Amino acid sequence: MGCSKLMYLNSKILQFSVPLLLLNNKMNQDLLIRLFKSIEGEKNDDIIKVAQKIIDDETIKGHSKLADRLKNILDKNISSHETFHKELKTLLPNGAFIPTDKRNNIPLATPINQHDLRHEMILPVEVENKIRRIEGEFTARERLALFGLKPKKKVLLYGSPGCGKSMSAERIAWTIGLPFLKVRLDAIISSYLGESASNLKKLFDSLNNYPCVLLLDEFDYIAKTRSNGQDVGEMHRIVNILLNLLEDYDAPGILIATTNIEGTIDKAIFRRFDDIIEIPKPGKEEIIRLLKTTISTIEIDKKVKFSSIATKLENYSAALIVKVAQDAAKFSVIQNRKIVSQEDLEKAVEENRLYNSK
């Protein structure tokens, strides 16, 4: 309840000020009561402070009954606002909660149920080993602590869209058994000066003692390099607060950020992460495994040449390869053949070629 509300209230007061001089006391009171019934906010909001000043003025004038009635209306509105705001908070175990943005009451992060987490992945051996190391270190965190060592808590995953960055974060949460929260950038970013940085800090503070995997997806959106001359001062403030939050991050869980474009992130932010892992596009071996795994619930023609199909799918994202396999399976089921053929796969590859060129 900032400047816009304050300006609204001031305009209302000015609007009524001249007529109030001409109207009798009863009409004055009715107008003030109607005005106060439209006021809402928290105790420290500017609009509430102005309303309180009006009550004080009425008390000084000796209008004690009117002042008491206005105070009762204001207190009730403040209480209703705080109750509504509290109900919107997503409660978590151990007394933690997901805060909301001040202006629209939108939760700053979204929890995803454990059974909904995607965790079956096909990754190159080198990447698989790096992911397993993060999982293993967290599982052995108490043993590491005996030697003054800490597990990796801040991880950056980068790579092309659709290659499994977000899924890797979900898989880590599923494997180590931690709750999974996804930051809502639409709620974090505000057009009002200073609110975006404040939202970030509020979210980090609320989860400081709550073990979870916190995903900052499309991280480059708020971590752009400060050397970009097109960014306004507000974006620089967000990057600076993010630097401090990452530097001080010592929560009992894991923070995972993902980005499609490595080069746009501020280099100072890169140095704040414990590990930086590239999630590449699948190689030929991974493509074949993805195809077979995706259509494993339906019979596959023994004449299918997966190697030739994989060659055509080189440089495709994992998500698009899965779509190709699913489309091929659908062709078979729709035609009531219930067996995936070479022609089904080739047709699916051709139909999805346009998506890969985008």
Question: Where a domain ends, among 58, 88, 118?
Answer: 88
| Same domain flag for 145 and 269 | yes
Same domain? For 178 and 298 the reply is no
pLDDT for 162 beyond 50: yes
Do 37 and 168 lie in one domain? The reply is: no
Of 230, 259, 278, the residue that ends a domain is 278
Whether residues 77 and 120 share a domain: the answer is: no
CATH number of the CATH domain containing 343: 1.10.8.60
Tell me, yes or no, whether 109 and 215 share the same domain. yes
Q: Which of 133, 177, 131, 178 is nearest to 151 (CA)?
A: 133
pLDDT at 305: 95
Query: Quick one: 317 and 209 in the same domain?
Result: no
Single out the residue in 257, 278, 299 at which a domain terminates. Answer: 278
Average pLDDT on 311-322 reads 95
* Cβ proximity of 246 and 153 under 8 Å: no
User: What's the predicted TM-score (pTM) here?
Assistant: 0.71
**Each residue's pLDDT tens digit, 231-245:** 555 667 788 888 888
Assign residue 101 the CATH number of its domain. Answer: 3.40.50.300
Q: Who wins on pLDDT, 1 or 279?
A: 279
Maximum Cα–Cα distance across the chain: 96
Distance CA 219, CA 152 (A): 18
> What average pLDDT does this structure show over 209-230?
75
What value does the mean pLDDT of the chain take? 84
Flag whether pLDDT at 337 surpasses 70.
Answer: yes
Sheet strand arrangement including 109-112: 109-112, 180-183, 213-216, 254-259, 154-158, 275-278
Beta-strand runs (E) in the chain: 90-91, 97-98, 109-112, 154-158, 180-183, 213-216, 254-259, 275-278, 299-300, 339-340
State whether 9 and 100 are in the same domain.
no
Residue 156 has pLDDT above 90, yes or no: yes
Render pLDDT for 35-66 as a digit per residue (tens, 0 to 9): 888 787 777 777 888 888 888 988 888 888 88
Q: Which two tokens stand for residue 267?
A: 């280099």
Query: Among 88-97, 138-147, 223-232, which is the least confidently predicted range?
Result: 223-232
**pLDDT confidence of 230, banded at 50, 70, 90?**
very low
First to last CA, the chain: 43
In percent, the amount of the chain with pLDDT more than 90 equals 47
Quote the tokens at residue 256.
Answer: 């995972």
Same domain, 136 and 273: yes
Whether residue 161 sits in one domain with residue 22: no
* C-alpha triplet 294, 254, 256: angle, nearest 5°: 55
| Residue 335 domain boundaries | 284-357
Same domain, 196 and 324: no
325: its two tokens: 């396999």
3-state secondary structure of 108: coil
- Token pair in block for residue 140: 């052995």
Higher pLDDT, 29 or 57: 57
pLDDT at 224 over 80: no
More confident of the two residues 18 and 306: 306
pLDDT score at 258? 92
Q: Are residues 136 and 245 in the same domain?
A: yes
Looking at the structure of the chain, the number of domains it has is: 3
Per-residue pLDDT at 99 exceeds 80: yes
* Highest mean pLDDT (candidates 87-91, 195-199, 221-225, 294-298): 294-298
β partners of residue 160: none
Instruction: Say whether both 202 and 144 belong to one domain.
Output: yes
Q: Which amino acid is at 28?
A: N
Predicted local confidence at residue 18, as pLDDT: 42
User: Looking at residue 134, what is its pLDDT?
Assistant: 97
